Structure 1
């Protein structure tokens, strides 16, 4: 009985000596902290470990759902603009040889008769337009359409976006401005070869019944000049001195049910028999000779290298 008691006392003595030695070894200048940091706020997002990001796919939506965070639903629908229509309703088909055939000739008289026969739908559309626009007349509207055309192209050459938006529809705006960011446009209207006239009219609803859009096609035959320069000032297309006869069919549109709607340029109709456009003049860089630091370039005595002849086989 005395032996186990003695062993217990020896063990306690050794433990006390070891704790006394450890306390002596401690540095008094750096005491132990008197408080322990405790996390009181839950972290909803834990950043990924280093080197694990590209190894496997992480389901962020599942992790967020488990953490109690709701992801916003992603909508794949495309926005719709109801200020204008998306295209041309029943586009006008210009007769072949228009502006070249006289009404006194046999072919010209035949075209005029066919145009009168197909104008019944246009008369119904004009009546519908007059219900919403009481001052609409085909004679005055043709002149107004030409003014809209001139103001829109002048705003395009001056890059006046605010004014251009008020003169053309949202469908026509990207078609007129696409690719013109670093180019200089020089356009000029010289004269009208023939008085503009209304040749086609349509009135159709969109999205819902009663949401009416009116489209009027105006024939305009005029003389214009056009020159387009690239960002380096080199001529790409046309000429500023040489005028050309241009026959155009302009489509003017208005949202009739909108009390603040205005007639704006919506597009152009290009007939299938129209001549092809002039090709764009491409500018190339002529390679200069490689000079040494002590040499100077003499452009008068330099011969431009010509490409070697290549035989092409079929």
Structure 2
């Protein structure tokens, strides 16, 4: 009996040793996997509403978050700011009434001349500020350069060359020149200058911070031009390619003076209040023709346009 018990104990001991060896083999891992246990450290007092669920009536989420110690972020109405150009024309030049028509020898002409001399004091101060940052600036040469920029910009507009147009006009002037012209054909031509262009006005304001200067120079240009605008169907809407017109314009050129790589670009135009109204746009309307049978030809000379019948409108 004792021998039988000893044999049984030896068998059990060997079985336990083998089981321990087999159990140790899978535990021999060089990179053990970390065990992550969820641990709640802080109770959430404010739980945001679920997506797609309607909020309860009469519950203010901002007040509820404030009671829980959470502050809502303030909402800002932000707009992009472009520092390459200004958003408008500072102290625009007021053209004298009847410019290019009224003689300076008359009484009214002398009054306008004296008013221009009074306004030229601020322009002289602006010229000094511009020359401090741009040593090559000159009123005599600048007027001719402004006229060249004007003609190049309008030729780029007729070809709809965006890259060149952005280099010649400011970000404010670009949408004004291209708005509504995407599906139209523009034929513009500069013929000659009736009077040499000259600088009549200048301002040098600062924006955002002191010392951030922008130069705005107004150039008077009296020239002869032709303009014809066709719609997307090839119909003439405005102007004529053969009939030139005398045009008096006041161009505003602008440059970010503080920027050493800045350049003078077309910023806008000043339209005086006494300027004549623009020509109306010619609108074409399709007139329905007669119903032709197969084999018949339309004779436009013998066809009379039917007049609409009078209609009595009753209230």
Q: TM-score, normalised by structure 1?
A: 0.73
Equivalent residue number for residue 132 of structure 1: 133
What's the CA shift for 1:159?
Answer: 1.1
The alpha carbon displacement at 1:310 in A equals 5.2
Q: Which residue is 2:106 aligned to?
A: 105
- After superposition, give the CA deviation of every residue in 1:47-92 in whole Å (9 maximum; x if it has no partner): xxxxxxxxxx92499xxxxxxxxxxx99752211111000000001
Displacement after TM superposition at 1:140 (Å): 0.8
The residue number in structure 1 matching 2:52 is 58
Deviation for aligned residue 1:114 = 1.2
Q: Quick one: distance in 2 between partners of 1:227 and 1:143? A: 25
Q: Deviations over 1:189-220 (max 9, x none)?
A: 11111111111000111122211111000000
CA RMSD of aligned residues (A): 2.3
Alignment of 1:124-163 (within 5 A): 124-163=125-164
Matches within 5 A, 1:198-277: 198-277=199-278
Residue aligned with 1:119, SS: helix
Secondary structure, in 3 states, of the residue corresponding to 2:205?
A: strand
Instruction: Provide the rounded CA distance (Å) in 1 between the counterparts of 2:141 and 2:313.
Output: 61
Q: CA deviation at 1:94?
A: 0.5
Separation in 2, partners of 1:271, 1:312: 44
SS in 2 for 1:139: helix
Question: Partners in 2 of 1:230 and 1:288 — Cα distance?
Answer: 23
Query: Structure 2 stretches of 5 or more lacking a match?
Result: 1-50, 56-73
| 1:182 corresponding residue in structure 2 | 183
- 1:161–1:305 CA distance, 2 compared to 1 (3 A): same
2:279 alignment counterpart: 278
Match of 1:298 in 2: 298
Matched, 1:117 2:121: no
2:91 is matched with which residue? 90
Please tell me whether the aligned partners of residues 292 and 298 of structure 2 are also in contact (alpha carbons under 8 angstroms).
no
Deviation at 1:312, TM superposition (A): 8.5
Q: Using the TM superposition, give the Cα deviation of residue 240 of structure 1 relative to its aligned residue in structure 2, in angstroms.
A: 0.7
Structure 1, 99-108 or 198-207: larger mean CA deviation: 99-108
**Distance of 1:141 and 1:311 partners within structure 2:** 65
What is the CA distance between 1:303 and its match in structure 2? 2.8
| Count of equivalent residues | 245
State the alpha-carbon separation in 2 of the partners of residues 127 and 116 from structure 1: 17
